[in-house]
Each structure stands twice: as structure tokens, then as C-alpha cells.
């Protein structure tokens, strides 16, 4: 089987020749592994027979984004971010932290409506998307669109950036009309943005990966009732747009989200990512038993404990355990729970990729 046959077989809840493989890594890890220069990442993925590949997507052509001498810069939402460079065991990681949430002080729906930095889908050039997809398909790989971390089809995370994490969660209880106005603006943008991406792909895109973190490590960030009220409709709209274009939908959420999984499934979700093993009530075996007949899973290998702190043998044991829990009957794409970072020994990355192939055969 090639990557496409393998992945589509597993998404049909049947067993292919082996478990499909994906690889998520930070730029810091790639530096520590010596993956640099044009084509280096693609060559690395080919060398390890990774099945899923991610297109760049539309190119930003909108108004210039402001930047300041201290290195802070704004994103498309007008959120000001500061880059923090953090030394870690095998190099460094650069993180773009929120410095200013521009809607933090707003108090009325009129304040939200009058905000002058709402992005437009017209700020992007979508013309290269079909070619990006075709290049991946020609290699027999699976085409995925996810966007970048600051522009990923979502609802709650942009609201957190714009308003502040704590404040938007308080607003859900105290100022629901404000939340609905903010998320309504976000949803309007991403609905049009996603529709244009799907149109531009000309039927060559396989998976859309949306991304909103709905959980902490101890439980959901919002209740199922609040999820339904504030993001349920938008989640369904995003899924519906993709399905109308013949595209499967995966959703990335960190944390403990067990009570929200059925709500996402009711709205047509195909693949749940990331299965963070340290999060409460996210045991792979019980998730597979409860939902594995109709929901595929992606992720599950720890980037918090096993990869950075374990040995190569520990990594191998974890891969074996997670594949045993999730792989039977198909419906699983093996990957880490998030981007592997540069606190991870290179030997553990090598052990991980070997284990995927040596232990993933059916």
C-alpha cells in the first residue's frame, strides 16, 4: 500500500498493511536534528516513510502587520506577540507569547463591532493551493491543511488571544452576548477563509485539521453546555463545509476533553487529535472501546514525559502500548500528542520513528 491507500483504509475503520504515520516537530527540534535548508524536512519525512503531509495553504497578501523594535509584532487579528527564546537541552525553542490582547478592555457588543482589525478572507492569495496539493498527491502521500499556529481554523483560541484566556472564560458566564459577538466575528472569517481554501484545492485536499484547545490536563476548559452554546454551531459549519467538498475533518485539542467528544462526533468529526496521555480521562483503550467504531484517533505519544525524559526503550514501550490500544480494527494514525520539541534527545526521536514501523504492522 502507498500512504494514501494505507490512510484511507484506516479511516474506513479497516486494517491496512501498517498503522499510518505522522510526524509533528517544532523548529527547535528540527534544528537539533540538523533538518535545515530547502527540501530538508521533506527529505527527512520521505526517509522515514511518513504518510501525512501538510500544505502551506494561502499566502498572506493583506495590510502590512505592524512590528516594533523590541521584536514584538502583531498577527492578522491585531494581537501583539512577543518572541521568547528559551534554551532547552538540545538547542532552543522560540515561542510567540501574547503581549497585548486588543479586546481586553471592551465592555459592549458595540466595542466588538467597532474593532478595526477584524481580518478579511480577501487578505490571502489562494491560487497556489491546488499545486501544493498535487505535489503531495504525486508522491502518494495524504494532503492535509492545518494553517499555522496563529491562523488555524478555530473559534475559542482566537477569542482567547483577542480577549485574554481568563477573561473570555469569565465572559461565558457573565457576558454571553460579548462572547457571541467575538466568536461570531471569528466564525464569519474562518467560514469564508475555509470555503475559499476548499474551492481553490479543486478536490485535491484530503483532510482539514481544525484546532481549538478545549481542555486542561485535569478537565475541559468549558462545560459541554457552554461548548454547545458558543462553539457548537461553528464547529458544525466548518465540518459541513469540508464534507461538502469531500474532505475529511480532524480536530486538534490538547487536554482532557472526554465529555466534549460526543458533541464533536455528533457534528461529523472524523479524526480526534491529539490524545494527550497525561490528561485526565483520556485513556486510549477506553476511548477506543467507547468511540472507535466511528471515530479515528491521531496522536497519543507523550511529548511531556516519555520523549524528553525517557530512554529509547521507554519510547518503544509507549509506542507498543498505544498502538495496541488504538490500532486494532484500523482507525488510528500514530503520532505524538503535539510537536516534539528540542528538549528531546535525538536518540529518542530515532527510536520513535523506528518503533512506528517495526511495531505498526498488522
| Predicted confidence (pLDDT) per residue in 221-244, tens digit | 999 999 999 999 999 999 999 999
Angle, CA 123 vertex, CA 121 and CA 129 arms, to 5°: 75
Q: How confident is the model at residue 51 (pLDDT cuts 50, 70, 90)?
A: very high
Q: Please check whether residue 95 is in contact with residue 86, taking contact to mean a CB–CB distance below 8 angstroms.
A: yes
Q: How confident is the model at residue 124 (pLDDT cuts 50, 70, 90)?
A: very high
Q: How confident is the model at residue 265 (pLDDT cuts 50, 70, 90)?
A: very high
pLDDT above 90 (res 318): yes
Q: How confident is the model at residue 175 (pLDDT cuts 50, 70, 90)?
A: very high
| Predicted confidence (pLDDT) per residue in 176-227, tens digit | 999 999 999 999 999 999 999 999 999 999 999 999 999 999 999 999 999 9
* β-bridge mates for residue 60, sequence order: 124
The pLDDT mean for the chain works out to 97
Predicted pLDDT at 208 = 98
pLDDT above 90 (res 150): no
Cα–Cα distance between 293 and 247 in angstroms, integer?
A: 20
Cα–Cα distance between 153 and 225 in angstroms, integer?
A: 22
Q: Please check whether residue 92 is in contact with residue 342, taking contact to mean a CB–CB distance below 8 angstroms.
A: yes
Contacts of 5 by beta carbon, 8 Å cutoff, 6+ apart:
16
* β-bridge mates for residue 142, sequence order: 52
182-195 b/e with 16+ CB inside 10 Å = b? bbbbbbebbbebbb
Q: What average pLDDT does the segment 76-88 reach?
A: 96
Instruction: Return the sign of the alpha-carbon dihedral for residues 276, 277, 282, 285.
Output: positive
**Angle, to 10 degrees, between the axis of helix 129-138 and the axis of helix 176-201?**
60
* 291, three cell numbers: 468511540
Q: Long-range contacts for 80-83 (Cβ within 8 Å, ≥24 apart)?
A: 81/150
Contacts of 277 by beta carbon, 8 Å cutoff, 6+ apart:
284, 300, 301, 302, 305, 322, 337
Angle, CA 317 vertex, CA 314 and CA 322 arms, to 5°: 125
| Predicted confidence (pLDDT) per residue in 267-304, tens digit | 999 999 999 999 999 999 999 999 999 999 999 999 99
With CA atoms as reference, report the closest residue to 75 among 55, 45, 99.
Answer: 99
pLDDT above 90 (res 80): yes
Q: How confident is the model at residue 33 (pLDDT cuts 50, 70, 90)?
A: very high
* Domain spans, the chain: 3-62+118-359
Predicted pLDDT at 184 = 98
Predicted pLDDT at 275 = 95
The second-level CATH assignment, the architecture, of 3-62+118-359 is Alpha-Beta Barrel (3.20)
Predicted pLDDT at 74 = 97
Listed in order, strand segments (DSSP E) in 15-63 are 52-54, 59-60
pLDDT above 90 (res 96): yes
pLDDT above 90 (res 94): yes
Predicted pLDDT at 149 = 81
DSSP H or E run through 298: strand 296-301
Percent of the chain residues topping a pLDDT of 90: 99
pLDDT above 90 (res 323): yes
Amino acid at each position: 500500500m502507498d500512504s494514501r491507500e494505507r490512510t484511507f483504509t484506516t479511516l474506513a475503520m479497516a486494517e491496512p498493511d501498517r498503522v499510518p504515520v505522522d510526524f509533528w516537530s517544532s523548529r527547535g527540534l528540527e534544528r537539533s536534528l540538523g533538518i535545515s535548508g530547502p527540501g530538508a524536512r521533506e527529505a527527512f519525512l520521505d526517509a522515514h516513510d511518513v504518510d501525512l503531509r501538510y500544505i502551506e495553504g494561502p499566502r498572506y497578501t493583506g495590510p502590512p502587520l505592524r512590528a516594533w523594535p523590541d521584536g514584538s509584532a502583531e498577527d492578522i487579528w491585531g494581537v501583539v506577540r512577543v518572541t521568547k527564546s528559551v534554551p532547552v537541552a538540545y538547542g532552543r525553542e522560540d515561542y510567540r507569547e501574547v503581549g497585548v490582547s486588543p479586546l481586553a478592555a471592551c465592555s459592549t457588543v458595540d466595542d466588538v463591532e467597532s474593532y478595526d482589525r477584524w481580518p478579511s478572507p480577501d487578505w490571502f492569495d489562494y491560487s497556489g493551493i491546488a499545486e501544493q496539493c498535487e505535489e503531495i498527491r504525486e508522491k502518494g502521500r495524504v494532503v492535509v491543511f492545518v494553517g499555522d499556529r496563529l491562523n488555524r481554523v478555530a473559534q475559542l483560541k482566537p477569542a482567547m488571544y483577542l480577549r485574554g484566556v481568563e477573561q473570555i472564560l469569565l465572559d461565558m458566564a457573565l457576558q454571553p452576548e460579548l462572547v457571541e459577538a467575538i466568536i461570531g466575528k471569528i466564525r464569519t472569517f474562518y467560514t469564508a477563509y475555509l470555503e475559499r481554501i476548499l474551492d481553490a484545492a479543486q478536490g485535491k485536499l484530503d483532510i482539514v485539521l481544525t484546532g481549538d484547545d478545549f481542555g486542561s490536563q485535569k478537565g475541559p476548559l468549558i462545560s459541554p453546555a457552554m461548548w454547545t452554546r458558543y462553539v457548537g454551531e461553528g464547529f458544525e459549519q466548518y465540518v459541513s463545509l469540508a464534507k461538502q467538498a469531500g474532505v475529511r475533518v480532524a480536530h486538534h485539542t490538547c487536554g482532557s476533553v472526554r465529555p466534549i467528544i460526543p458533541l464533536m462526533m455528533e457534528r461529523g468529526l472524523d479524526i480526534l487529535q491529539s490524545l494527550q496521555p497525561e490528561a485526565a480521562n483520556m485513556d486510549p483503550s477506553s476511548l477506543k472501546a467507547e468511540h472507535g467504531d466511528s471515530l479515528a484517533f491521531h496522536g497519543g505519544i507523550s511529548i511531556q514525559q516519555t520523549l524528553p525524559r525517557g530512554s529509547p526503550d521507554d519510547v518503544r514501550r509507549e509506542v507498543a502500548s498505544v498502538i495496541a490500544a488504538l490500532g486494532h480494527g484500523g482507525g488510528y494514525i500514530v503520532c505524538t500528542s503535539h510537536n516534539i520539541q528540542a528538549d528531546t534527545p535525538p536518540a529518542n526521536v530515532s527510536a520513535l520513528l523506528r518503533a512506528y514501523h517495526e511495531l505498526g504492522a498488522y
